[in-house]
Amino acid sequence: MLIKTDNLTKHFDLGKGQTLHAVDGVSIEIEENEVLGLVGESGSGKSTFGKTLIGLLPKTSGMAFYRDQPLPERFSATDHLHYSRELQMIFQDPYSSLNPRMTVLDIIGEGLHIQGQYSRQEIRDHVASWLFKVGLNPDHMSRYPHEFSGGQRQRIGIARAMIIEPGFVVCDEPISALDVSVQAQVINLLDELKESMGLTLMFIAHDLSMVRYVSDRMAVMYLGAVVESGPADEVFFEPRHPYTELLVQSNPEPDPQRESARDYIPIKGEITSPINVQPGCRFADRCPKVMDQCRHVTPEFTAVENQRQVACHLYN
């Protein structure tokens, strides 16, 4: 297994006895060359999970493994340097994730520079080749991020993450800050790179149909916990958990005519506060199928059939 987490938990102490349960006991596995899509509404803990998994945030408890080796609970500067060759992240916001004072050459070449094995000319050549691969003009490597559009900046972010040929990449909502017209281009680029480089990715997004398109398997997160996982198509077309059912039903149709013709079913209410989470099902306040036991007994995340797991009393 390339990536595995075992009850990975990330809490934030807010003081005055209050704890924010951003990630609560998440256990996932990702095989080599596999794309795991992680979906859920804003505030479900997806990004915090991604950052904690690759060491950008210290863990509160639980374990994460890379190639069967445990990752440190809290990364030291040496750990960051060591694992930056293996674990990378593509960030949501291509506007703030690139240093405005660095040229594209320095931004994309930084990972190679840190490795200390490449001459300045070799780094230039690698950066030029990567600019070409991501569809940008290699002659523009001396330019600064503000001279590029949002979609182009995200391509720069992708080249920066990929140039060191990492073993695992977390793509944190890589298209949500982009115009709809360029979203598909960036997705297609990631898809091509995945095929040509044999990448292993965790693709975080709230757009279910986009996640289904790029992922082999899908995990659905709600309020810090995974509530359903399985092969991407099966989860999308035959959701088991009531939250996944509602997410699928509220997912917009790409065809505007079909979208305006269908009954839109919004998920009622807001995601519950992640502060001082109580026992019981986290989705109980919004679930149309809620039962008495759901309010005080936490459902186990259990296998319901081959490769499918659900945390719901309807299946326990």
* Residue listed under structure tokens 């890379």: 66
User: Does 314 engage in binding with ligand SF4 (CB under 6 A)?
Assistant: yes
Cβ within 8 Å of residue 206, ≥6 positions away: 39, 40, 41, 42, 173, 176
Expressed in percent and rounded to 5, the helix, strand and coil fractions of the chain are 35, 25, 40
| Options 289, 300, 302, 303; binder of ligand SF4; rule CB under 6 A | 289
Rounded-to-integer distance, Cα 280 and Cα 175, Å? 34
Give the shortest CB-242-to-ligand SF4 separation in angstroms.
4
Of 39-47, 149-157, 178-186, 307-315: span binding ligand SF4 (CB under 6 A): 307-315
Which residue, among 10, 17, 13, 21, has the nearest Cα to 274 in the 3D structure?
21
Output 255 or 300, the one with its CB closest to ligand SF4: 300
| Options 4, 242, 274, 301; binder of ligand SF4; rule CB under 6 A | 242
Cβ within 8 Å of residue 253, ≥6 positions away: 259, 262
End-to-end CA distance of the chain: 27
Which residue, among 220, 170, 185, has the nearest Cα to 48 in the 3D structure?
170
User: Does 312 engage in binding with ligand SF4 (CB under 6 A)?
Assistant: yes
User: Does 221 engage in binding with ligand SF4 (CB under 6 A)?
Assistant: no
| Options 21, 51, 217, 313; binder of ligand SF4; rule CB under 6 A | 313
User: Does 225 engage in binding with ligand SF4 (CB under 6 A)?
Assistant: no
| Options 177, 178, 226, 294; binder of ligand SF4; rule CB under 6 A | 294
Output 232 or 281, the one with its CB closest to ligand SF4: 281
Cβ within 8 Å of residue 260, ≥6 positions away: none
Give the shortest CB-154-to-ligand SF4 separation in angstroms.
35
Of 44-52, 56-64, 267-275, 289-297: span binding ligand SF4 (CB under 6 A): 289-297
User: Does 248 engage in binding with ligand SF4 (CB under 6 A)?
Assistant: no
Cβ within 8 Å of residue 236, ≥6 positions away: 208, 209, 212, 218, 248
65: three-class secondary structure by DSSP = strand
Give the shortest CB-36-to-ligand SF4 separation in angstroms.
22
User: Does 287 engage in binding with ligand SF4 (CB under 6 A)?
Assistant: yes
| Options 1, 265, 291, 303; binder of ligand SF4; rule CB under 6 A | 291
Give the shortest CB-26-to-ligand SF4 separation in angstroms.
17
302 residue type, one letter: T
Q: How many residues contact ligand SF4, by CB under 6 A?
A: 14
By CB under 6 A, the residues from 256 to 285 that bind ligand SF4 are 281, 283-284
Output 258 or 289, the one with its CB closest to ligand SF4: 289
Output 112 or 290, the one with its CB closest to ligand SF4: 290
Distance of CA 184 to CAs 49, 116, 193, 254, 267, Å? Answer: 25, 36, 14, 12, 26
User: Does 239 engage in binding with ligand SF4 (CB under 6 A)?
Assistant: no
Q: Phi and psi dihedrals of 69, rounded to 5?
A: -105, 135
Mapped to the 3 state alphabet, what secondary structure does 189-222 carry?
Answer: HHHHHHHHHCCCEEEEECCHHHHHHHCCEEEEEE
Give the shortest CB-316-to-ligand SF4 separation in angstroms.
8
Task: State the residues that interact with ligand SF4 by CB under 6 A.
Answer: 241-242, 281, 283-284, 287, 289-291, 294, 299, 312-314
